[in-house]
Structure 1
Amino acid sequence: MQLLVNIDHVATLRNARGEGYPDPADAATVCEQAGASGIVFHLRRDRRHIRDEDVYRLKKFVKGTLDFEMSASDEMIEICKDVEPHLCTLVPEGREELTTEGGLDMKVIFNDFKNRVFPALHGSGIKISLFLDPNPEDIELAHNLGADAIELHTGTFANAPDEDTQQKELERLSEAAELIHNLGMIVNAGHGLNLQNLPILIDHVNHLEDISIGHALISKSVFWGLERTVKEYLKIMNK
């Protein structure tokens, strides 16, 4: 199990004043030196946080896994192929959303991904991950496309209003992880995870490989610093 730190909101802080700092690449270096296995970033079409120049600096400075989250637009596919990250995670992207609000709807996008997206990325050496809700039908369709990995959307679990809802979401995530694993794909997870709910997820869901954590980790680091915060997450994962 690996911790990948999403450093998008380091860029959000920089962009608030336009002063050129803090530098997401510097943050990535601190995270890796503290023990993180890699870095996640989301280059959005509106460039609200990570910018094109950040992407190339991250490619230069990140030593571990580099996960490029993106929509499946032709523009992003071309940038991804040029940068050559280890992993490309395809996510839905809405212009007005504050953050990614759910998984891809595979029944809606299947033909486009089959005919345009996957052919464009196959042969690049970049592993393809799809960001999905824990729905068996979506997972089966992702397998039919030839996806290398599935990142399970954990936001519904993380934001569950009560224990019963949380337990139901944990059951869905656990069953989804078993299916992904049995189909020969890598099981990743992310969205809404923090120091309180991460131990619960790990206790109930097997086969997890990359855990992507961003907003909660970066927010806590305002008080603790990045090094200590990364190490606190790793303590949980290493148990």
Structure 2
Amino acid sequence: MARVAINVDHVATVRQARLAHEPDPVTAAALVELAGAHGVVVHLREDRRHIQDRDVEILRKTVKTRLNLEMAATQEMVQLALRIKPDIVTLVPEKRQELTTEGGLDVVLYEDNLRQVVKTLHDGGIPVSLFINPDSKQIKTAHKIEADCVEIHTGPFAEATSYLRRQEEYERVENATKLATKLGLVVHAGHGVDYRNILWLRNIREIEEFSIGHAVIARAVLVGLEKAVREMIALVTGSWQSTV
């Protein structure tokens, strides 16, 4: 059964909108763990638009499940990760102007640099995941540079506006997960996953963990964070069949 890791970035987004002290993503992380989440995800961006260094440092001391630090493959972030020691690092592409991550990391184009980053993090005892598009070349190169895991970018699937297009994107994700598993990579999936499209994605047996943020935080505004997390976990595990 796939695990569910909750991204609490957008709790920090609300806090930073007023440059205030609350809501605190550290408190949110504790709540999602109490609700049964298998891990906590945060993206420390170069521009610090939501999660702050302080958040990551405290989360490292308080998260009891697994802390997944999403970050760009820069020297600054690598050094921070080596100091903080998250349970896993997910390398993602990053542009200052984007609202959210717009696509997968181009492992083929940046193979040499990413190989060195992966090696440096491994030498520091940190497993590495790469956030990539569901593309065979990207997956094979991720394996070649000895990444431990790939997180398949599900954005195009989530954003599909027709059944036919969604089916096509679903098959791309499914084929990518099968190839990654065949190569011995751990498979995660995320981006745009919500309470409806998870009913498709949960059928892909190769996906070991879903990384879900915006949908859960948005629902939490209406029903509370613990309830929102429990509902998502129930959908992933198939223990709740009600229409959301």
The reply on whether 1:157 has 2:157 as its aligned counterpart is yes
CA RMSD for the aligned pairs?
A: 0.8
CA deviations on 1:100-158 (whole Å, 9 max, x unpaired) are 000011221101112x3123212222110000000001100000000100000000000
TM alignment of 1:32-51, pairs within 5 A: 32-51=33-52
- Point out where structure 1 has 5 or more consecutive residues left out of the alignment: none
CA deviations on 1:16-44 (whole Å, 9 max, x unpaired) are 11220111010000000000011000000
How big is the shift at 1:163? 0.6
TM alignment of 1:1-239, pairs within 5 A: 1-114=2-115, 116-203=116-203, 205-239=204-238
Distance 1:4 1:191 in 2: 12
Which residue identity does 2:71 align to in structure 1?
A: M
Distance 2:236 2:193 in 1: 12
- Point out where structure 2 has 5 or more consecutive residues left out of the alignment: 239-244
Distance 1:119 1:106 in 2: 14
**How many residues are aligned here?**
237
Which residue identity does 1:214 align to in structure 2?
A: G
Distance 2:237 2:138 in 1: 30
How big is the shift at 1:160? 0.4
CA deviations on 1:47-90 (whole Å, 9 max, x unpaired) are 00000000011111110011000000000001011111111000
Which residue identity does 1:178 align to in structure 2?
A: K
Distance 2:106 2:93 in 1: 8
Which residue identity does 2:234 align to in structure 1?
A: K
User: Which structure 1 residue ranges, 4+ long, deviate > 3 Å from structure 2?
Assistant: none
How big is the shift at 1:5? 0.4
CA deviations on 1:157-213 (whole Å, 9 max, x unpaired) are 00001011100011111110001111011010000000010111112x221111100
- Secondary structure at 2:219's aligned position in 1? helix
How big is the shift at 1:227? 0.6
- Secondary structure at 1:4's aligned position in 2? strand
Normalized against structure 2, the TM-score is what?
0.95
- Secondary structure at 2:21's aligned position in 1? coil
Which residue identity does 2:227 align to in structure 1?
A: R
Distance 2:81 2:141 in 1: 23
Which residue identity does 1:155 align to in structure 2?
A: G
Which residue identity does 2:138 align to in structure 1?
A: D
Distance 1:103 1:7 in 2: 20
